[in-house]
Amino acid sequence: MVFDGADFDNHELVVFGRDADTGLSAIIAIHSTNLGPACGGCRMWPYANEADALRDALRLSRGMSYKNAMAGLPLGGGKSVIIGDSRKDKSEALFRAFGRMVDSLGGRYIAAEDVGTSVADIMAMAQSTKHVAGLATGHAASGDPSPFTAYGIYLGIKAAAKHKLGSDSLKGVRIAVQGLGNVGSHVCRHLAEEGAVLFVTDIQPDAVSRAVAQFGATAVEPGRIHAADVDIYAPCALGAVINEQTLPEIKAKVIAGGANNQLATDAVGELVRQAGILYAPDYVINGGGIINVSAEVTQSYDKAAVLRQVEQIPVTLSDIFRRADRDNRPTSTIADEMARERLAAGKRTALAAE
Ligand code: NAD
C-alpha cells in the first residue's frame, strides 16, 4: 500500500531500484519539484523491512520539500534510501549503480550525503551521474555539508534559548546532545566553545569517549538522553525521538537539534506545546547543509554567501516562535503551514510559466 498509506503526501514520484550484481536495493522519493529539482540526501541504513525503508523515504522527502522551501532555496524535495549496513555493505560499484538510478531520472532528483553515506560515496555516484551535490573536488565543489548544518543548529539553539530561557548566551546552559556523528560532533564543538555544559550519548562508545575527552561532556546512556536534567535537548541522531513515551520524561524546556523527523507524528507537536516545551522545527533548524549544497547546484559556490544565508535560520525560527505564541499553536504546525504556502506559490508560478 503506497497511495493510501499514512506517509504518502501526494508525492510526485517514487522509484524502486535494484542492481543484483552489486546488491543495491534503493528507493528514491520525489515529493515536490514545485520550487526546482528535488534535492536531498541519500541515506544508507539496515532497515528491518521494505515498509520501513519506504516510510523513511516518503517522510524524509516531504521534509526536504519543507526544508528547501523554508530555507528560500530554488530546490524541490526528494530523498533516497539504500537498504544496507553502511559499515559492511558499501562498495564503489554499489554507489556507481545508485548513480545510474539517479541519472535515469534526468535531473529531477539530485543526491547528496546523509546518514550512512559520505563525500567519498557521492564521488562514486558522480562517476555515473552529474546529478549529485556535496562533492570534494571539481567545479563548485562544496564538500561535507555537516559543518554548515551544525553552525545553523548552533545559531538556532541560541535563538530558541533567547525566546524560551530569556538569553541567547549558552554559558553554563545544560544541553543534552543525542548522536555524535558528522552533525552532533560539530554542534558539540560550537556549544562547548560558548561554555555550555554538555551531556552526550551515542550508540558508538568511541564517539562518546571522544566527546567526553574533547568537551568535558558527561556521558549518558543512549536510551536515557531525552530524560536528562538539562535546559535544552538537541536530538542529532535519528528521527521519531519525540513521542508519547519520551515526552513525559523530557525535562528540557527547549528541543532544538539536527535530526530529521524528530516528532514521531504530526500530532506530537501539540503535545510538546502543551508540555510548555519550545520545539525548533527540525527542517528549519537543520537547513544549513542544504543551503551549502544548494550553492553548489546553482554553480556559484561562495562560502561567505552561504554563511550569510545560514545566519537567516535563527531569524526564520524566531518568526515561527512568535507566530506560535501569538496563535497558541505548535511551532511545527506553523512551520508546516509556512512551507506549504511557499510550495503552493511555487506551483502557481510554475503553472503560469507553462
Ligand atoms: P551520522 O551518521 O554521521 O551520525 C549519526 C550518529 O548518531 C552516529 O554517530 C550514530 O552512531 C548515532 N546514533 C544512531 N542511533 C542512535 C541512538 N539510538 N542513540 C544515540 N546515537 C545514535 O549522521 P549525521 O550526518 O550526523 O546526521 C545526524 C542527523 O542529522 C540525521 O537525522 C540526519 O538526517 C540529520 N541531518 C544531517 C545533515 C548533514 O548535513 N549531515 C543535514 C540535515 C539533517
Q: Could you tell me if the CB of 68 is within 6 A of ligand 1?
A: no
Round to whole Å and give the CA distance between 113 and 86: 13
pLDDT at 140 over 70: no
Phi-psi region of 84 (alpha: psi -120 to 50; beta: other; left: phi over 0): left
Secondary element (H or E) of residue 77:
strand 76-83
Q: Tell me the three cell numbers of residue 129.
A: 551521474
Tens of pLDDT along 293-327? 899 887 678 999 999 999 999 999 999 999 999 99
Residue 225 Cα to ligand 1 midpoint, Å, equals: 15
The number of the ligand 1 atom at minimal distance from the alpha carbon of 260 is: 32
Strands 38-45 and 76-83: parallel
Find the angle CA(253)-CA(261)-CA(202) to the nearest 5 degrees: 70
φ/ψ of 38, rounded to 5, equals: -70, 125
Give 10: exposed, middle or buried? Use CB within 10 Å, 0-12, 13-18, 19+: exposed
- Report how far residue 281's alpha carbon sits from residue 262's, in angstroms, rounded to the nearest whole number: 9
CATH class of 146-286+315-339: alpha beta
Q: Are 117 and 42 in contact (CB under 8 A)?
A: yes
Q: Are 342 and 316 in contact (CB under 8 A)?
A: no
Q: What is the DSSP string of 84-125?
A: S-TTTS--HHHHHHHHHHHHTTTTSEEEEE-TT--HHHHHHH
* Residues carrying an active site annotation: 79
- Residue nearest atom 14 in ligand 1 by C-alpha distance: 237
User: Per mean pLDDT, which range of 33-37, 322-326, 350-354 is the poorest?
Assistant: 350-354
Ligand 1, residue 287: give the atom nearest the CA. Answer: 43
Burial class (CB in 10 A: 0-12, 13-18, 19+), 89: middle
pTM of the model: 0.90
pLDDT tens-digit map of 21-31: 999 999 999 99
The domain defined by 13-63+76-125 carries CATH number 1.10.10.10: no
DSSP letter for 225, please.
Answer: G
* Residue spans in the chain of domains classed CATH 3.40.50.10860: 13-63+76-125
> How much is the pLDDT for 299?
65
pLDDT tier for residue 352 given thresholds of 50, 70 and 90: confident
Q: Is 150 in the pocket of ligand 1 (CB under 6 A)?
A: no
Q: Which three cell numbers, joined as nine digits, stand for 328?
A: 497558541
Distance CA(280)–CA(317), nearest Å, equals 7
**Nearest partner of 181 among 242, 249, 251, 260, judged by Cα:** 260
- pLDDT given for residue 136 in this prediction: 73
pLDDT in tens, 222-275: 999 999 999 999 999 988 999 999 999 999 999 999 998 899 999 999 999 999
Q: Does residue 200 have its Cβ closer than 6 Å to ligand 1?
A: no
Q: How confident is the model over 78-91, as pLDDT tens digits?
A: 999 999 999 999 99
**Is 122 in contact with 144 (CB distance < 8 Å)?**
no
Is 192:218 a contact under the CB 8 Å cutoff?
no
| Distance, CA of 35 to CA of 55 (rounded, Å) | 23
What is the percent of the chain with per-residue pLDDT over 90, rounded to a whole number? 86
Ligand 1 center–CA 238 separation, angstroms: 6
Range(s) for CATH 3.40.50.720 in the chain? 146-286+315-339
